[in-house]
């Protein structure tokens, strides 16, 4: 098991559990963007098309099911549960999330590893996940009212992005760090190619 994947899974799981806890216990989705939740449901539905055809591990299958079920549960609560639906701030959650879907799909059709339906959908889910939080951030900016559980939900989602982005950036610098440290170790003047 990759430690970074496990940390990412756990922070995402924590964010979703906090949001479900808020919605279920206090029967309110105030401050939660339905548009972001619909985008996440689409992300997981397109990413995990292989759930019933390719078994990797019990952990993998369970996490896929949790992410899909929790995403669709949140959308259901906001759209269908009578008490929760009343607290939804439709007037401020106006980000046109459909304009995020088409560019991500077009990008996935152009840039993918191989041109198969599942691979293009998986790539689409990666691109869409990168921008899925935008409606939530816009909603929070418009209302300027962030309750504890919504704030923690966004915090844990952001923590996931910060860890992954930081890891990728570190990998990009790793080659430079290696040559820099070797140069200092050998007391050789550091020269970079022009």
Q: Is residue 176 part of a domain?
A: no
Single out the residue of 59, 97, 55, 58 nearest to residue 75, CA to CA: 97
Q: Which residue has the higher pLDDT, 145 or 45?
A: 45
Whether residue 172 is contained in a domain is answered as: no
Q: For residue 115, what are the domain limits?
A: 3-161
Percent of the chain at pLDDT above 70? 74
Mean pLDDT in residue range 116-121: 94
Segment 113-139 shows an average pLDDT of 90
Task: Give how many domains the chain has, as a whole number.
Answer: 1
Per-residue pLDDT averaged across 93-120, rounded?
Answer: 92
For residue 90, tell me if it sits in a domain: yes
Distance between CA atoms of residues 124 and 39, nearest Å: 12
Q: How far is CA 89 from CA 31, 138, 145, in A?
A: 7, 12, 12
- Asked if the structure places residue 169 within a domain, the reply is no
For residue 180, is it within any domain? no
Q: Does any domain span residue 59? A: yes
Per-residue pLDDT band for 134 (boundaries 50, 70, 90) equals confident
Residue 175 falls within a domain, yes or no?
no
pLDDT of residue 140: 81
Q: Is residue 185 part of a domain?
A: no
């Amino acid at each position: 098991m990759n430690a970074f994947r496990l940390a990412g899974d756990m922070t995402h799981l924590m964010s979703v559990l906090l949001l479900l806890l808020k919605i279920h216990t206090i029967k309110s989705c105030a401050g939660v963007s339905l548009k972001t939740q619909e985008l996440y449901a689409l992300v997981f539905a397109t990413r995990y098309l292989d759930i019933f055809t390719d078994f990797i591990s019990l952990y993998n299958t369970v996490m896929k099911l949790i992410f899909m079920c929790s995403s669709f549960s949140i959308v259901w609560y906001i759209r269908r549960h009578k008490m929760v639906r009343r607290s939804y701030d439709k007037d401020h959650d106006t980000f046109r999330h459909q304009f995020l879907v088409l560019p991500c799909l077009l990008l996935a059709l152009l840039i993918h590893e191989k041109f198969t339906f599942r691979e293009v959908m998986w790539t689409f889910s990666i691109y869409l996940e990168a921008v899925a939080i935008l409606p939530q951030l816009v909603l929070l900016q418009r209302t300027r009212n962030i309750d504890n559980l919504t704030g923690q939900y966004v915090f844990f989602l952001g923590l996931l992005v910060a860890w992954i982005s930081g890891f990728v950036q570190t990998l990009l610098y790793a080659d430079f760090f290696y040559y820099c440290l070797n140069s200092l170790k050998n007391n050789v003047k550091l020269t970079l190619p022009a």
